Copies of this chain bind each other. A is one copy, B any other.
Amino acid sequence: MSTPTSVNPLTLTVALGDRSYPIHIGPGLVDDGERLASYLSGRQVMVVTNDTVAAHYLERLTSALSAADDRLRIETLVLPDGEAHKNVDGVSRIWDALLEAGFNRKATLVALGGGVIGDMVGFAAASYQRGISFIQVPTTLLSQVDSSVGGKTGVNHPLGKNMIGAFWQPRAVLIDTATLSTLPERELSAGLAEVIKYGLIHDSDFLGWLEDEMAALRDLDDVVLAKAIERSCAIKAEIVALDETEQDVRALLNLGHTFGHAIEAYMGYGTWLHGEAVGVGMLMAADLSMRQGFIEQADVTRTRRVIERAGLPVAAPREMTVEDFVSRMKLDKKNTDDRMRLVLMRALGEACVYDQTPPALLGECIEAYPRA
């Protein structure tokens, strides 16, 4: 009954009191059924994935799991791939499958895939029978460094991204770095946008290291990749531990996201990758930070260069007007009754939440920003 076990993955703990959980990072974790089984709540398990990831990893993961414990009742659900399917209907399919299987409150959901799967499975877990356990096995760089930490779950609504959801923490996160070998290059770049973000908001040394190692990261150098993922998760975990439900400091993690969400919503979810939109959004935030007098032109140039070297777009969609941006940015969850709250940079490596940007300055910034 033994399964191949990954050798000494890196482990960090997200410290959230009785909702704390470990993140394991290393090659081979998809095949480590014993480790996965050790985090189950009962014997009922439903592995949810998408059709793209299923082809590579679903059978491997379920085989490892049943080899680890043959008393488990393992069900699988394969959803269509893509951000366009991240909606209430997608979550309903998970609820339906759980009920059709007769699964109870001791059941565990396993999210095998990228951020879309993780967000949907997390919200299904948060809301099935008022909350069951779930485990994340993220297979994209973006989800490994972003949705692994923080417990944000949810789905999109035609009127806004991630508008329906919950804060719900996983029992564990298993990051198998070897799964990045099957990730399309464009998605790897999108994930690098979030990695760069951690440097920009919180750690200028990490930003410098990323500038040096960008080529190695894009070549999937295992050691460099693992270090980048670990540092990203650690920065996010540190910030989330201070502010689990996003009352204040956690908002810093949204650098580039207010602009980026406007791009995603305008273009139709799934047209731009989330990380691509965030990459341009961070540049727009950098530009606005300069206009506010917080950073220099040289900082903006350096930001542009590292984003470019990650293989990401740096120009906004040609057809988007100032109003196209502003109307969507007003829906942002960070806003209070009457003020738009934006994440800007006081310096490279130090973000801040700022709600005093004059609307005219924001308009100028968007108007002047380069278009593709």
Task: List chain A positions with a Cβ less than 8 A from chain B.
Answer: 42-44, 88, 92, 95-96, 99-100, 102, 104-106, 123, 126-131, 152-154, 157, 159-160, 162-167, 245-246, 330-333, 335-337
The answer on a CB contact under 8 Å between B337 and A43 is: yes
In this complex, what residue of B is CB-closest to A327?
B102
- In whole angstroms, how far apart are the Cα atoms of A43 and B337 in the complex? 7
The answer on a CB contact under 8 Å between B128 and A163 is: yes
Chain B contacts for A44, CB-based, 8 A: 337
A198 to chain B, nearest CB (A): 22
Chain B contacts for A157, CB-based, 8 A: 95-96, 99
Chain B contacts for A162, CB-based, 8 A: 130
- In whole angstroms, how far apart are the Cα atoms of A369 and B162 in the complex? 49
A-B contact pairs, 8 of them (CB 8 A): A44-B337, A104-B332, A106-B337, A129-B333, A130-B162, A130-B333, A131-B166, A131-B245
Chain B contacts for A159, CB-based, 8 A: 96, 99-100
One of B131, B160, B331 near A167 (C-beta < 8 A)? B131
- In whole angstroms, how far apart are the Cα atoms of A44 and B335 in the complex? 13
A247 to chain B, nearest CB (A): 10
The answer on a CB contact under 8 Å between B331 and A165 is: no
In this complex, what residue of B is CB-closest to A123?
B127
Chain B contacts for A104, CB-based, 8 A: 331-333, 335-337
In this complex, what residue of B is CB-closest to A338?
B43
The answer on a CB contact under 8 Å between B100 and A336 is: no
- In whole angstroms, how far apart are the Cα atoms of A95 and B163 in the complex? 9
The answer on a CB contact under 8 Å between B164 and A127 is: yes
